[in-house]
Structure 1
Amino acid sequence: MPGATIQIKLVIAANQFGAKPHLTLVAIGDRATQASALQQLGDLFLAAGRRPDAAARWRQALTILEDLGDPAAADLRTRLSGR
């Protein structure tokens, strides 16, 4: 996905200013990139010591990945279980 990296960076930057992180990608209908952005936001929150916020983003990403039948959902299930 050529524009995916730019889209993810825009979403992450928007989140830093209090915007809803997933609205941009929802508007363009790119669910796989939306899930990736949410997963990366979760990782950033975890690195900042904000596990509840990380888990919330991972749950959102997990729902999308499961809807898409993406095998990456297994990794998020593991993260959410704390293993």
Structure 2
Amino acid sequence: MSQISKVVLKDVDGNVLHPQTDAGIVSVNDAAGSPSNVQSEIQALREKQSEMANIDFFVNKGDVNSDADLPAQDYKNGWAYY
């Protein structure tokens, strides 16, 4: 179940623009430019963060030991040698 984030909107002088609102009614565009709301975008970011936490960003390209040295060139981001 998603949580509702409560916010108070203020102008640059600190005056309250709307006494109470929640992230579900504040309109924004999503990453594709389509209409959305702040609560939906917060939830989408939380889901993406959770997905990213489970990704192994390193690709094991091999072992380094007395019989196998690191290659001299052609490294790519994310490659790992152990």
What is the TM-score normalised by the length of structure 1? Answer: 0.28
Which one has the bigger helix percentage? 1
Q: Larger Rg: 1 or 2? A: 2
* Highest RCO, 1 vs 2 (Cα 8 Å, sep ≥ 6): 1
